[in-house]
A = this chain, B = another copy of it.
C-alpha cells in the first residue's frame, strides 16, 4: 500500500515519462513536485525498493509495469472525482484540482466502483482527459485544432500547441484556459480568422495563427 507522498511521486513520474517517452530525471521530478532533488533521490530509492520504479544512479527512473498500473488507478480516481465535483457538485473546472488532489488518495475500492456507477461510467473527465477503467484501460479523445472546426462546433480546450510566454499571456487575456468551453460562432474564409465564444460568455476574434494552436475535444 502506497502512502500519499508515494502516490504523488508515482503520478508525477508517470506523467513525465508519458510526455518524454524516455527515463525521467531527478530534477524534472523535483521541479514538478516543488521539492528538492535530494528529497527526490530518497523517494525514488524507496519506490525502486517496492518495485514500482526501476532506477540506476545518475541515469534517471522508469515506471515499471506494476508502477504503471498503480499510477493509472490513482489517475482514475483523480479524474472520477473531478467529474463528480463538476457534474454533481457544480464546481467550476478551475476549482476542482486541489480537492481532487486530496480525494485521489482515499483508499476504498467500493467507493470508486460506486462512484463510477453513480456517474454513469464516464470515459472522459471535465478537461477532456480519459478516465482509465478498473483495469487501467483508456482511450484518449480525438482532438482537433479550432481552425479545423465548423461553425457551431463547440468543445473543451484540451491542449495548446505553442507555449511561448507571449501566446500564453494572450490566452490568459481572452480566458481560453485549458478546460474552457469554446464555441465557433463565425469563420472568415478570407483570412481564416474566427469569432469564438468562451465559457458561454465572452466573444472574441482570433487569428488563423491562434486558432491553429488551440486544440479542443468534445
Seen from chain A, the residues whose Cβ lies within 8 Å of a Cβ on chain B are 85, 88-91, 95, 98-99, 102-103, 106-108, 110-111, 114-115, 118
A108–B102 touching, CB < 8 Å: yes
Contact of A91 with B103 in the complex, beta carbons under 8 Å: no
A98 to B, closest residue via Cβ:
B108
Query: In the complex, which of the residues B95, B107, B118 contacts A102, with contact meaning CB atoms closer than 8 Å?
Result: B107
Q: Is the CB of A114 within 8 A of B102?
A: no
* B111 in contact with A106 (CB, 8 Å): no
Cβ contacts under 8 Å, A107 to chain B: 102
Q: Does the CB pair A99–B108 fall under 8 Å?
A: yes
| Interface pair B114/A90, CB less than 8 Å apart | yes
What 10 A-B pairs are tightest by C-beta distance, nearest first?
A89-B114, A99-B108, A102-B106, A99-B111, A89-B118, A103-B106, A88-B118, A90-B114, A95-B110, A89-B115
